[in-house]
Amino acid sequence: MSSPALVRHPEDGMPTASIAEAGPVPAVTPAAAPTSFGALMLRWYRLNQGRLRATAIGIISLLAFLLVWHLLTTYRVVFFVRFTNVPSPLAVYASFVKAIHDPKFLMHVLLSCRRIFFGFSLAAIVGVPLGLIMGRFKLVHEIIFPVAEVLRPIPAIAWVPMAIMLWPTNEQSIVYITFLGSFFPILVNTLHGMSLVDPVLVRAAQCLGARERSIFREVYFPASLPHIFTGLTVGMGVAWVSLIAAEMISGQYGIGYFTWEAYSLVQYADIALGMIAIGVLGLGSSLLIRGAGQLVMPWRST
């Protein structure tokens, strides 16, 4: 389960970033004065010291990971875990070079991305408004919540047989499973955000003349946005988990299918390549959501 871990900590662009962030806070820079380029650079450096440090440590940590991997595989270490058949980083690199010139591999990747796009977008389009409405109108909450609570614990993978029966094509059932995976985290987090809206802000809006609809648009929605984006980030992670599982079980294309097929065809380097591709795609999509979040919530990025 590599992708949910990546997704659950989107702020840790690198595995060690959180350690670095816990370090000393960079000194506050003095108030602005007309300055030379050199002084500007210096100030930029001071302000971003923490981030630079995190990046540096992150790169070193990744390199160390590669080195350990390399050593374990070249010496074919057997110590409880058997590295005898595990491909080395160089072998994976070689199969990567081959793969990027192979339209079939690209098609696998693109198809997975398309499924994520449709499944996740649908989940967001349904989940966010539903959460907002459920948070605001008790009756809707009372009607929908019990059903959601019963369906929520069912892992998306457990839906595979049912999905195959429900949907006419394989493609649709995979998208459906991706949708299910991301839907509940999005719904639950949106609801949570709605329940945390500060009542004082609602009162403030009311005595400035805001009516129900404006309060919804101007207070409840923006106040819930941080949690909505948490839901989207978590949902994206679960979407990948569900997608890969679905592809491995019922797919014909897709990066999950590619990884599984590599195992059946005894192409061990391709297994690792598939896994890394999934990791990178998962990370990339959660970074996209983070970026979108910063665009939509400029008040939180200072």
Partner 1 sequence: MSEVLAAKPKGHIEVKNFSLAYETIEGPVQAVTDTQIHVNPGEFVSIVGPSGCGKSTLLNAVAGFLKPTTGIVTVDGERVNGPSAERGMVFQQYSLFPWKTVRENVEFGLKMRGMPRSQRERAARTLLGLAGLEAFEKHYPERLSGGMKQRVGIVRALATGPKVLLLDEPFGALDAQTRVIMQQILTNMWQRLKISVLFVTHDIDEAIFLSDRVYCMTARPGSIKAEIPIPLERPRQQSMMMSSEFLALRRGLMSLIREESLKAMGGEINDLGMQGLSIELQGHSLADVI
Q: Which residues bind partner 1 (CB under 8 A)?
A: 198, 200-201, 203-211, 214, 218-219, 222-223, 225, 297-299, 302
Rounded distance between C-alpha atoms, residue 128 and residue 195, angstroms: 14
DSSP 56-118: HHHHHHHHHHHHHHHHHHHTT-EESEE-SSPPPHHHHHHHHHHHHT-HHHHHHHHHHHHHHHH
- CA distances from residue 226 to 131, 183, 223, 273, 298 in whole angstroms, order as listed: 14, 17, 7, 34, 11
CB of 113 to partner 1, least distance (A): 31
CB of 49 to partner 1, least distance (A): 21
Nearest to partner 1 of 173, 224 (CB atom): 224
CB of 229 to partner 1, least distance (A): 13
Nearest to partner 1 of 88, 230 (CB atom): 230
173: CB partners within 8 A, 6+ apart: 160, 163, 164, 166, 167, 246, 250
Nearest to partner 1 of 70, 203 (CB atom): 203
CB of 164 to partner 1, least distance (A): 44
CB of 214 to partner 1, least distance (A): 6
CB of 132 to partner 1, least distance (A): 15
Q: Could you count the other beta carbons within 10 Å of the beta carbon of residue 218?
A: 14
Nearest to partner 1 of 24, 298 (CB atom): 298
Contact (Cβ atoms closer than 8 angstroms) between residue 228 and residue 193: yes
Nearest to partner 1 of 229, 253 (CB atom): 229
Nearest to partner 1 of 162, 201 (CB atom): 201
Per DSSP, helices labelled H in the chain are 2-8, 17-21, 37-47, 49-74, 89-100, 103-136, 138-151, 160-166, 170-195, 199-206, 212-215, 221-250, 255-264, 268-296
